[in-house]
Chain A
């Protein structure tokens, strides 16, 4: 069973809504990630936090706003999304970021539908 917990599992939001996805891990990992996955496609990296600081932003639109309140928590704030943003959003964590072969562990994901 995954030790990365994501809430909510399903979210339906309008294009003018503001919502948040939440992620928690208690493995003592210092790197946390947000990925976006469309149907039948591999996960696409969005953001990487290392030691609670944003290390990577893969040119993600500003309507997605990540936040890392502490080493165990990761949020993704959503505002003014478009229907094409509908996807499975995956949180993941690993022991570290700048390291050789740190294994990434994924959560079960949050299914987002934008109407």
Chain B
């Protein structure tokens, strides 16, 4: 089955700096890669996603890049703000079904 690894497990940045979270996957059949943000006491919220036919996608301060050859994808947050502090999960979905394989999560802290 698919195996998704996520790094780092914790990340602290100064407000205004950029944050990068990286994930690798093992199954070349995976073709959909969402990112979820989970604030304390809440459910995961989809913040951005990318499909395998696209190399990069951007939504305001958030961007995701995908390298299919290397089987890795990354979340980039620019101009970080304290409200970006949360746990971020990457996930991969295989072609033939909708089973989501989650990474282990990254706890991001933005220091004011």
**B binding-site residues for A, Cβ under 8 Å:** 31-32, 34, 36, 41-46, 49, 51, 87, 89, 93, 95-100, 102-105, 107
| Residue contact A42 to B97, C-beta cutoff 8 Å | no
| Residue contact A109 to B43, C-beta cutoff 8 Å | yes
| Residue contact A104 to B34, C-beta cutoff 8 Å | yes
Partner of B102, one of A43, A98, A100: A43
Tell me which residues across on chain B come within 8 A of A109, comparing CB atoms: 42-43
Tell me which residues across on chain A come within 8 A of B96, comparing CB atoms: 98
Instruction: Flag whether A97 is at the interface (Cβ < 8 A).
Output: yes
Instruction: Flag whether A112 is at the interface (Cβ < 8 A).
Output: no
**A42-B102, A104-B34 known; A97-B43 Cβ under 8 A:** no
Q: Which size bracket describes the interface of A in this complex?
A: 20 to 34
Instruction: Flag whether A90 is at the interface (Cβ < 8 A).
Output: yes
Main secondary structure of the interface of A (DSSP, over half): loop
**A100-B32, A101-B31 known; A45-B99 Cβ under 8 A:** yes
A45 → chain B, closest Cβ, in Å? 7
Instruction: Flag whether A108 is at the interface (Cβ < 8 A).
Output: yes
Q: Which of B44, B87, B97, B98 has the most CB of A within 10 A?
A: B98
Distance, CA A38 to CA B98, complexed state (A): 22
A35 → chain B, closest Cβ, in Å? 9
Distance, CA A100 to CA B98, complexed state (A): 7
A102 → chain B, closest Cβ, in Å? 5
| Residue contact A104 to B100, C-beta cutoff 8 Å | yes
B88 → chain A, closest Cβ, in Å? 11
**A31-B98, A41-B105, A100-B95 known; A106-B31 Cβ under 8 A:** no
| Residue contact B36 to A102, C-beta cutoff 8 Å | no
